[in-house]
Amino acid sequence: MQDEVLSINNVSKTFVTEKGLGVCALDNISLSIKENDFICLVGPSGCGKSTLLRIIAGLETAGEGEVLYRGNKILKPGKRRGMVFQEYSLLPWRTVLGNVGLGPELAGEPAVNCRKIAHEYLEMVGLEKFAGSYPYELSGGMRQRVAIARALANDPDILLMDEPFGALDAHTRIILQKELLKICEANRKTIVFVTHSVDEAIYLADRIVVMTSGPGKIKELIDVSISRPRGRGDQSYGKLSARILDMLEEEVTGNSATPLSDQQEELRKEVI
């Protein structure tokens, strides 16, 4: 497929604990992601969403199957795949400008270019006035904007986001969701976004991947046909939210898989 950016082919992943207990995180995941797709992964806690994202990033390896980026197998991290974590992961001894310009600096760009690139992306996220500040001087929402700007400063082809707004208050979260969509419109990135929030997934995504309880499989792939900007009070929005919540409740309360022991469940949550 000409516009296919990521191809996830029959990916499975099993972790082995120190006691030799095998914990299956992902089971036979296959998914095709196209150019400029905004994909949200939702599912019960411990279903392997973050594990799948780390495999796409090259931070984890698949036990079986493979992930291809533009036809090439992913074996390690690469600058064409930018990562934004829930924990802001900013360097406390660097200013906001220094954090955002880190990627170009490591790539060997001259200092003047690093500053120019950093200023450009800080302006994009509305933080150009805080270029000389340090992370501890910023609010949580501002720090996450810096983290997004830092990822974008590397000009990645794909942006991988692991619950980036999960630790924020509801109001800040909504503001950053709107800003992320504006950034996407301006930069046309392919995004894979992990979230526990069904509302967030519907607001942001072109397609939503609903995953089963561990081991994680794709329960359903949903095309979100609601036009943007999406109003949370829209009837279609509410119907889709109820549908996905019903699917997740079914996984939590009525999963037909053989239940894990309490010990296995705790171990599974630790590694996924």
Give the model confidence (pLDDT) of 123-163 as tens digits.
Answer: 888 899 999 999 999 998 899 889 989 998 988 999 999 99
Q: What is the pLDDT of residues 47-103, one digit of tens each?
A: 899 999 999 999 999 999 999 999 999 999 998 999 998 777 899 999 999 999 999
Q: What is the pLDDT of residue 71?
A: 93
Q: What is the pLDDT of residue 16?
A: 82
| 67 in Cβ contact with 55 (< 8 Å) | yes
Q: Which residues pair with 33 in a beta bridge?
A: 6
Q: What is the pLDDT of residue 184?
A: 82
d(CA 207, CA 223): 5
The yes-or-no verdict on residue 263 having pLDDT over 60 is no
Residue 225: alpha-carbon gap to chain centroid:
21
Q: What is the pLDDT of residue 255?
A: 54
Looking at per-residue pLDDT, the higher value among 20 and 90 belongs to: 90
Question: Strands, DSSP E only, in the chain?
Answer: 4-16, 22-34, 38-42, 64-69, 72-73, 81-84, 158-162, 190-194, 207-211, 218-223
The yes-or-no verdict on residue 247 having pLDDT over 60 is yes
Residues 6+ apart with CB under 8 A from 253: none
Tell me the pLDDT band of 2, cut-offs 50, 70 and 90: low
This prediction has a pTM of: 0.87
Q: What is the pLDDT of residues 166-213, one digit of tens each?
A: 888 888 889 889 988 988 888 888 999 999 999 999 999 999 999 998
Domain ranges of the chain: 4-80+156-271, 88-155
Nearest to 203 by CA among 160, 236, 252, 167: 236
Q: What is the pLDDT of residues 25-39, one digit of tens each?
A: 899 999 999 999 999
| Phi then psi dihedrals of residue 22, to 5 deg | -85, 130
- Give domain 4-80+156-271's CATH superfamily: P-loop containing nucleotide triphosphate hydrolases (3.40.50.300)
| 62 in Cβ contact with 134 (< 8 Å) | no
- Transcribe 163-180 into DSSP letters: STTTTS-HHHHHHHHHHH
